[in-house]
Amino acid sequence: MSFKSENILSLIGADFSGNSDHDLRSVFTKILNEGTHGICFSPYLEGQEPGSIISEEQIRKRLEIIRPYTNWVRIFSCTEGNELIPRIAKELGFNTLVGAWLGEDEEINEAEIAGQIQVGRAGYADLAAVGNEVLLFY
């Protein structure tokens, strides 16, 4: 995935392009310490990417890292182990926005939606989002 930094900066309504690394770290630390409403969560470790199977242990460890700083997690997929995230998140006290990532492969799309429905029926989704990857910047 690629992105243009000017698109990201415009989404947050601030221009940090003139700030030093020290200034950026200070701003980030302040925001982190105050806490955020929610965060887009990805459990991947270095070398992993969509298509990698994610374990429950890995998800739990990654959620524990962010637990003190936010109340909501937003996930993007309900396959390849990502469908475990909402249950674990709920166990740890998070609210969840559960996504189903749609693409060109109908079989994968059906698996995503089926996984999302299963997560929702189990009571682990506070909100659901389907197909919003059109917001991805290239």
Tens digits of residue pLDDT in 12-33: 566 777 888 898 888 878 877 8
Q: Are strands 36-40 and 70-75 parallel, antiparallel or unpaired?
A: parallel
Q: Are strands 95-100 and 127-130 parallel, antiparallel or unpaired?
A: parallel
Q: Give per-residue burial for 64-92: e unless 16+ CB within 10 Å, then b.
A: eebeeebebbbbbbbbbbbbbbbbbbbee
Angle at 3 between CA 22 and CA 78, to 5 degrees: 105
- Asked if 94 contacts 126 with a C-beta cutoff of 8 angstroms, the reply is no
Q: What is the pTM of this model?
A: 0.76
Distance, in Å, from the CA atom of 49 to the CA atom of 29, rounded to the nearest integer, reads 27
Residue 74's nearest CA partner among 48, 42, 28, 102 is 42
Q: Each residue of 94-137: pLDDT tens digit?
A: 999 999 998 888 999 999 999 999 999 999 999 999 977 655 55
